[in-house]
Amino acid sequence: MQLIYFARIREIIGVSEEERPLNEQIKTIGDLLDFLSLQDEKYSCAFQDLNAIRIAVNQNYVSFDHKITDQDEIAIFPPMTGG
Amino acid sequence: MQLIYFARIREIIGVSEEERPLNEQIKTIGDLLDFLSLQDEKYSCAFQDLNAIRIAVNQNYVSFDHKITDQDEIAIFPPMTGG
Amino acid sequence: MAHIYIQVTDDDFNVSDEMSKMTKGRSDIGALVSFTGFVRDMHNEKPIKKLTLEHFPLMAEKQLLNIAQKAEERWKVTDITIIHRYGGLYPSDQIVLVLAASAHRKDAFAAGEFMMDWLKTDAPFWKKEQTEQGEDWVQSKSDDINQKNRWT
Amino acid sequence: MAHIYIQVTDDDFNVSDEMSKMTKGRSDIGALVSFTGFVRDMHNEKPIKKLTLEHFPLMAEKQLLNIAQKAEERWKVTDITIIHRYGGLYPSDQIVLVLAASAHRKDAFAAGEFMMDWLKTDAPFWKKEQTEQGEDWVQSKSDDINQKNRWT
């Protein structure tokens, strides 16, 4: 799966995108965030406050219980401040 | 007093303004409309539906019980359709 | 105190020019809402050939200023422009322009809509329509009075 | 079906040009509401030197279209334009333009305000402010979420 980060999340993680293989521990967005947080402090810091995390899969907003596939483009970012 | 008419009222009465002396029968706007209506069919026709009459004295909206003086400029017109 | 600019005219206006006059050199304005009213080619299912606006000149300026001041009292607006035309107009012609500027969008939207609602019922203008069937005065709408009354 | 025009760009826009594109040759439009958002020189009592807008390109266009279509479903609008800028902006620069045209003013105002409320919370743009003290991301406001939720 393709992971994309924006704004504050991108700055903390230090890259704007990365490719990761799906594994059996990761079924949902929530699992993915947990998995990454255990891998590295940067992720656990970026995903610390889940109220300040928004997710889009293939450019559509989804909730943390959304199921993911290996072909998904998963964007992780803070609440939007457009307009 | 100076009387000014607009729109449909002006067309029915046939003049856009006229000078009239105040007399003892006329204390309020309501009295003025009654007095004019008795003078001529044009006025009684124009003032027939009081719901469709608006009044401004010296360019301020007033109600039918507003007291008038001989120096007043009294505008009589239908509901506005601006904007 | 908001900057208020009122104009009652038989000339056309340019929205962009009016916006530029208002915002030029200003960096305290975060939100600018505009309303432009146009003559439509249909009204009550009748094709419109021409629209003539009669007005009460002195009172029109006074009332427009009055409406702008009421808006200024209710919302945090920095600038207001109201331009209202009179005379003979044709379908697609501009009739009225209202601009409301503010630091924040909510005040600008509310002030703009409030002023338009007042204009419909309290600005001394009267519209006469010319159709194939002849000429007739546009009736005021009870809906417009309800719109205005929701602000009180 | 309303005519919808969406643009995500690092260029400036001209409000009058966008209005003309929309209304040219049209006599079914009675009401045109515009919202223009500008960079202010102050935010949370701090002087702003620069504002940088980051965005998610593909999704931005998709979401703006989505927002326009939601507005079109709810109100009788004939035309919608949304232009949103990204990149480096300075105080008094234009950020966003929303136009909503309709036969009647009520639909145009409601659609315009609805789209702006959605843009604030659902358009994938993020603002970073540069002040004397350095750079920081603009926090989303709970007030904006409340504004948006009043439409649901």
CATH class of the domain comprising B2-77? alpha beta
| pLDDT value at A52 more than 90 | yes
Does residue C5 contact residue C72 with C-beta atoms inside 8 Å?
no
ipTM at complex level = 0.93
Mark yes or no for CB contact A59/D59 under 8 Å.
yes
Q: Are strands B60-62 and B54-57 parallel, antiparallel or unpaired?
A: antiparallel
Token pair, residue A51, equals 């109220």
Q: What is the pTM of this model?
A: 0.94
- pLDDT value of position D146: 81
In 3-state terms, what secondary structure has residue A82? Answer: coil
**Which of C6, C39, C51, C54 is the best substitution to test chain B (most B C-beta atoms within 10 A)?**
C54
Report the alpha-carbon distance of residue D73 to residue D52 in Å, rounded.
33
Return the domain boundaries, chain A. 2-77
Report the alpha-carbon distance of residue D106 to residue D117 in Å, rounded.
17
Does residue B54 contact residue B78 with C-beta atoms inside 8 Å?
yes
**Which of A51, A59, A81 is the best substitution to test chain D (most D C-beta atoms within 10 A)?**
A81
- Rounded to 5 degrees, what are φ and ψ at D32? -130, 120
- How far does D57 lie from chain C, in Å, by closest CA? 24
Low-confidence ranges of chain D (pLDDT < 50): none
Contacts (Cβ under 8 Å, ≥6 apart) of B10 = B16, B77, C54
Token pair, residue C125, equals 């203008």
* Mean pLDDT score across all residues of chain C: 95
Report the alpha-carbon distance of residue A26 to residue C29 in Å, rounded.
48
Mark yes or no for CB contact C116/D105 under 8 Å.
yes
Q: Is D25 left (phi over 0), alpha (psi -120 to 50) or beta?
A: left
**Best CA proximity match to C119, nearest among B6, B82, B77:** B82
Residue ranges of alpha helices (H) inside chain B are: 7-13, 29-39, 41-46
The alpha carbon of residue A78 and the mean position of all alpha carbons in its chain are separated, in whole angstroms, by 10
**Best CA proximity match to C59, nearest among A71, B75, A60, D140:** B75
Does residue D144 contact residue D121 with C-beta atoms inside 8 Å?
yes
Low-confidence ranges of chain B (pLDDT < 50): none
Q: What is the DSSP letter of C104?
A: S
A15 interfaces chain D, CB cutoff of 8 Å: no
Report the alpha-carbon distance of residue A72 to residue C69 in Å, rounded.
55
Residue positions counted in chain D? 152
**Which of D84, D140, D147 is the best substitution to test chain A (most A C-beta atoms within 10 A)?**
D140
Per-window interface: D 19-58 vs A, CB < 8 A: 37, 54, 56, 58
Mark yes or no for CB contact B56/C56 under 8 Å.
yes
Mark yes or no for CB contact C105/D14 under 8 Å.
no
Paired with D101 in beta bridges are D32, D79
- How far does D40 lie from chain C, in Å, by closest CA? 5
Cβ contacts (< 8 Å) between C58 and chain B: which residues?
Answer: 59
Mark yes or no for CB contact A77/D137 under 8 Å.
no
Q: How far is CA C40 from CA B5, C54, C58, in A?
A: 28, 18, 27
- pLDDT value of position C145: 80
C25 interfaces chain D, CB cutoff of 8 Å: yes
Q: Is chain A touching chain D, with at least 3 CB–CB pairs below 8 Å?
A: yes
**Which of D24, D33, D76, D106 is the best substitution to test chain C (most C C-beta atoms within 10 A)?**
D33
pLDDT band at C150, cuts 50/70/90? confident
| pLDDT value at A9 more than 90 | yes
Token pair, residue C115, equals 């002023």
Residue positions counted in chain C? 152
In 3-state terms, what secondary structure has residue D5? Answer: strand
| pLDDT value at A1 more than 90 | yes
- pLDDT value of position D45: 87
CATH 3.90.1170.40 fits D3-149, yes or no: yes
Cβ contacts (< 8 Å) between C36 and chain B: which residues?
Answer: none
pLDDT digits (tens, 9 = 90+) for D74-107: 999 999 999 999 999 999 999 999 999 999 999 9
Per-window interface: D 70-129 vs C, CB < 8 A: 91-92, 103, 105-106, 108-109, 112-113, 116
- pLDDT value of position B17: 98
- What is the CB neighbour count within 10 angstroms for residue C108? 31
The alpha carbon of residue C77 and the mean position of all alpha carbons in its chain are separated, in whole angstroms, by 17
Report the alpha-carbon distance of residue C105 to residue D115 in Å, rounded.
12
In 3-state terms, what secondary structure has residue B2? Answer: strand
A–D: how many Cβ contacts below 8 A? 65
| DSSP state letters, D49-114 | SEEEEEE-HHHHHHHHHHHHHHHHHHS--SEEEEEEE-EEE-TT-EEEEEEEEESSHHHHHHHHHH
Residue holding tokens 């009292």?
C73
Paired with B75 in beta bridges are B4, B56
Mean pLDDT of all residues in C126-134 = 95
pLDDT digits (tens, 9 = 90+) for C19-48: 999 999 999 999 999 999 999 999 888 999
Asked whether the CA dihedral C112, C116, C118, C122 is positive or negative, the reply is: positive
| pLDDT value at A27 more than 80 | yes
Token pair, residue B76, equals 């009589």
Of C136 and D149, more confident: C136
Return the domain boundaries, chain D. 3-149
- pLDDT value of position C149: 83
